[in-house]
């Protein structure tokens, strides 16, 4: 088959002329040519436009000029840039240098270590420790490594491994880059000491080597997902002891309550700015210190309290037990040195371990011993009696007609729980007669009685540097009504704090000299040198020495014969006064809610300690002060005497004390535990027969044994059905008596 030959199309020489803006597109030109014969006007237009075209020779000079202009502009721009670069590189410019440094510098605020809080013997109550927080970067942690890594850490760290795995999985799903490890059963961050941090690092290295030996080099990213950050934490070695007194510190480092707040400026360390240069990987390049600033921040000062750590523990334990056994809303106590005014212990319950901020409730930080005011009730009566004796209007033996227990005066009727006729002033205090002390107040008059109470500190803010301390309420003589003056004499219509009442009782034990309550003993520099010292301060001779001694004798009879028999301590003379006040609720006095209290001295013949106890609204026991507060006084007093090494009074027999405690209830104006059938019979000076508590309720058994100085252990609930040692068995002071309830 012959190949077909096609005639080759003659090659058209492409025009070299530059197409101007007036040229038409070829397709348009073809269309125009096809229609020229039928459209004369269009033909003319085409001829006109064709005639207007300029040749390439004519257009070239214009194009060359444009290129030259563009080249000149570009060259000028490059020249400006080169000149500017040379200026920046060769000519110094402080502003630019600072801007360059800012891109790489990191400014850190370095704060000196917060000062310690110490007890009077320089034992730690609060300190700051450097610990490490552990965090994960979930984006670096491989999913297949989560379980093994967390399980290995859970072998020696107090973490909830299941919860941590869930948190990591959730963080990975949310593409989070940061996850802090928390303590088990808590929202608080896990805090590692140097030993724990080292164990974590060793575990990570061991796991990494294992994976690398198996050919798995991807574990390196999981290893890098764990990091540590150092942080200062406030640590309280005694946990819940003195928690409301010490207070807490916020994450910012500022004190939030208690002494931490009151003395924050003194405890906080110096703050300085620290600048470091770092590269893009956050590695330190160099360090600079700002001018006129120390390279290391100065630590805060140390605060030395008048508190004794061991006495504080004694008070906290006794007060907490009272809260539990009475079912009260609150309980607080205070121990004061009679001679110096030093506050040796101040307990407020309920509270909790302040090392774990997540478990703290609002009322756990309320120091009711210093900040709560309330109507004190009958504990004011001995002070009014002392004023009357000091003014020469009465003696302890002066007879007073108590009107058989009911007396109408100033438009109101006053009653006594146990009717009395004519008794001495000492018996008025012993039996807590409202009518008797009302007559004393009337004879004193409002101006004299109120002015003398104000001298004792009532109605004035106690001179203690602590947040929220109130002044209490004591009406002026000009504005008080006659019936209000009478009720003030037995603790109604006025309000006071525990520290005000206890300071007054301490003055009675200090031969009438009122001491300034002292909570801060001294301030020490970080090096241990004394910066400020606060010496005991005498506020004046409020009562004559004879008056004070006579009043203390009346207080002793309250314990031996009157309403405070539960406050007796075997081997020591004690004196004090019970108080029971109805609570003012919703505009009236509650028929059921009461505040029971006891304030007293030990040893009463030569007082060393003044102790106050207040129980707020007990629900398991009647709220009489002699029943709920006096036993706590006895427990604190007995343990304090042992701790201080104060020998028992030789002239007093333990057998006599217990006989006085078992006197019939008819001699008491407040219910006491003498109504219970068991007895404590002493066999010699160190042993007594184990009481029979079988068949008693827990409350009855605890009340009976409250002042026996035995270690009590019990199990179960209901009535006592078994005890050890058996009833009648000789038992010594400090021995353990255990029983079970069913």
Angle CA 179–185–188, to nearest 5: 50
Tell me what pLDDT residue 34 has: 59
Q: Sign of the C-alpha dihedral, residues 254, 259, 265, 270?
A: negative
Terminus-to-terminus CA distance in the chain, angstroms?
A: 126
CATH number listed for the domain at residues 312-354+374-675: 3.40.710.10
Q: Is 689 left (phi over 0), alpha (psi -120 to 50) or beta?
A: beta
CA angle 481, 486, 487 (to 5 degrees): 95
What local confidence, expressed as pLDDT, does residue 682 receive?
A: 36
Spatial distance between the Cα atoms of 632 and 627, rounded to a whole number of angstroms = 9
pLDDT band at residue 669 under the 50/70/90 scheme: very low
Phi/psi of residue 102, nearest 5 degrees:
-60, -35
CA dist., res. 395 & res. 384, Å (int): 12
The domain limits of the chain are 109-116+127-241+272-301, 312-354+374-675, 676-742
pTM of the model: 0.72
Is residue 342 reached through a cis peptide bond, with omega within 30 degrees of 0 on the bond before it?
no
For residues 511 and 515, what is the distance between their CA atoms, to the nearest angstrom?
Answer: 11
In this predicted structure, which of 191-200, 454-463, 500-509 has the lowest mean pLDDT?
Answer: 191-200
Q: Give the Cα separation of 27 and 29 in Å (integer).
A: 5
Q: Is the dihedral of CA 694, 699, 703, 705 positive or negative?
A: positive
Token pair for residue 681?
């019979």
Q: Which fold has domain 109-116+127-241+272-301?
A: Penicillin-binding protein 2a (Domain 2) (3.90.1310)
- In the predicted model, is pLDDT for residue 513 greater than 50? yes
Q: Whole-angstrom Cα distance, residue 738 to residue 669?
A: 32
Q: Is the pLDDT of residue 287 over 50?
A: no
Considering 196-205, 293-302, 633-642, 661-670, the range whose residues carry the highest mean pLDDT is 633-642
Under 8 Å between Cβ of 665 and 565: no
Give the CA diameter of the chain: 162
Indicate if the pLDDT at residue 677 is higher than 80: no
Peptide bond preceding 726: is omega within 30 degrees of 0, i.e. cis? Answer: no
Alpha helices (H) in 256-402, listed in sequence order: 258-262, 264-267, 309-326, 368-371, 381-390
pLDDT digits (tens, 9 = 90+) for 563-597: 899 999 999 999 999 999 988 887 788 888 999 99
pLDDT in tens, 598-656: 999 999 999 999 999 999 999 998 889 999 999 999 999 999 999 999 988 755 544 45
d(CA 245, CA 255): 12
Pick from 695, 686, 685: nearest CA to 727: 695
Are 301 and 267 contacting, i.e. CB atoms less than 8 angstroms apart? yes
pLDDT band at 298 (very low <50, low <70, confident <90, very high): confident
Selected from 3.30.10.20, 3.40.50.300, 3.90.330.10, 3.40.50.1000, the CATH number assigned to the domain covering 676-742 reads 3.30.10.20
């Amino acid at each position: 088959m012959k190949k077909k030959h096609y005639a080759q199309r003659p090659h058209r020489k492409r025009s070299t002329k530059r197409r101007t803006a007036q040229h038409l597109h070829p397709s348009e030109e073809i269309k125009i040519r096809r229609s020229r014969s039928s459209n004369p006007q269009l033909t003319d237009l085409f001829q006109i436009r064709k005639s207007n075209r300029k040749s390439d020779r004519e257009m070239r000079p214009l194009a060359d000029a444009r290129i030259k202009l563009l080249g000149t502009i570009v060259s000028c721009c490059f020249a400006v840039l080169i000149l500017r670069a040379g200026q920046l590189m060769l000519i110094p410019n402080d502003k630019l240098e600072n801007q360059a440094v800012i891109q790489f510098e990191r400014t850190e605020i370095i704060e000196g270590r917060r000062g310690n809080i110490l007890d009077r013997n320089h034992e730690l109550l609060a300190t700051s420790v450097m610990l490490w927080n552990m965090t994960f970067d979930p984006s670096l942690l491989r999913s297949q490594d989560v379980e093994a890594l967390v399980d290995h850490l859970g072998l020696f760290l107090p973490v909830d491994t299941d919860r941590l795995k869930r948190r990591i999985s959730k963080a990975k799903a949310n593409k989070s880059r940061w996850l802090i490890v928390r303590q088990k059963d808590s929202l608080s961050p896990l805090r590692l000491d140097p030993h724990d941090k080292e164990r974590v690092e060793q575990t990570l290295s061991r796991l990494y080597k294992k994976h690398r030996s198996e050919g798995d080099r991807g574990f390196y990213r999981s290893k890098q997902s764990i990091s540590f950050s150092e942080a200062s934490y406030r640590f309280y070695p005694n946990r819940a002891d003195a928690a409301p007194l010490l207070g807490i510190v916020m994450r910012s480092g500022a004190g939030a309550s208690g002494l931490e707040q009151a003395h924050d400026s003194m405890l906080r360390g110096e703050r300085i700015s620290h600048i470091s240069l770092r590269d893009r990987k956050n590695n330190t390049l160099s360090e600079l210190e700002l001018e006129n600033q120390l390279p290391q921040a100065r630590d805060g000062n140390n605060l030395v309290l008048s508190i004794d750590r061991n006495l504080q523990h004694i008070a906290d334990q006794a007060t907490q037990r009272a809260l539990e056994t009475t079912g009260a809303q609150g309980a607080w106590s205070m121990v004061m040195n009679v001679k110096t005014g030093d506050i040796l212990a101040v307990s407020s319950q309920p509270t909790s371990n302040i090392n774990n901020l997540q478990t703290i409730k609002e009322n756990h930080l309320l120091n009711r011993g210093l900040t709560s005011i309330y109507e004190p009730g009958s504990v004011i009566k001995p002070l009014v009696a002392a004023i009357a004796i000091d003014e020469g209007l009465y003696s302890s033996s002066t007879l007073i007609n108590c009107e058989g227990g009911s007396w109408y005066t100033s438009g109101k009727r006053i009653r006594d729980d146990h009717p009395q006729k004519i008794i001495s002033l000492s018996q008025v205090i012993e039996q807590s007669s409202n009518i008797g002390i009302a007559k004393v107040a009337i004879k004193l008059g409002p101006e004299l009685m109120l002015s003398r109470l104000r001298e004792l500190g009532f109605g004035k803010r106690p001179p203690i540097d602590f947040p929220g301390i109130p002044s209490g309420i004591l009406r002026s003589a000009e504005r008080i009504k006659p019936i209000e003056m009478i009720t003030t004499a037995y603790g109604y219509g006025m309000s006071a704090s525990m520290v005000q009442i206890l300071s007054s009782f301490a003055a009675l034990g200090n031969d009438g000299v009122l001491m300034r309550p002292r909570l801060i003993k001294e301030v020490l520099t970080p090096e241990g040198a004394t910066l400020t010292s606060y010496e005991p301060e005498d506020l004046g001779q409020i009562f004559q020495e004879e008056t004070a001694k006579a009043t203390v004798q009346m207080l002793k009879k309250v314990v031996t014969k009157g309403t405070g028999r539960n406050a007796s301590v075997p081997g020591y003379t004690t004196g004090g006064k019970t108080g029971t006040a109805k609570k003012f609720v919703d505009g009236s006095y509650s028929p059921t809610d009461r505040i029971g209290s006891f304030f007293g001295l030990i040893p009463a013949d030569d007082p060393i300690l003044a102790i106050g106890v207040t129980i707020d609204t007990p629900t398991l026991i009647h709220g009489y002060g002699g029943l709920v507060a006096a036993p706590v006084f006895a427990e604190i007093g007995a343990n304090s005497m042992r701790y201080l090494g104060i020998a028992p009074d030789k002239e007093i027999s333990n057998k006599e004390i217990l006989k006085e405690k078992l006197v019939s209830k008819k001699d008491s104006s407040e219910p006491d535990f003498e109504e219970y059938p068991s007895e404590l019979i002493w066999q010699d000076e160190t042993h007594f027969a184990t009481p029979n508590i079988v068949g008693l309720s827990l409350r009855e058994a605890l009340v009976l044994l409250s002042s026996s100085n035995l270690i009590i252990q019990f199990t179960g609930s209901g009535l006592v059905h078994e005890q050890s040692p058996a009833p009648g068995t000789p038992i010594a002071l400090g021995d353990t008596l255990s029983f079970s309830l069913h």
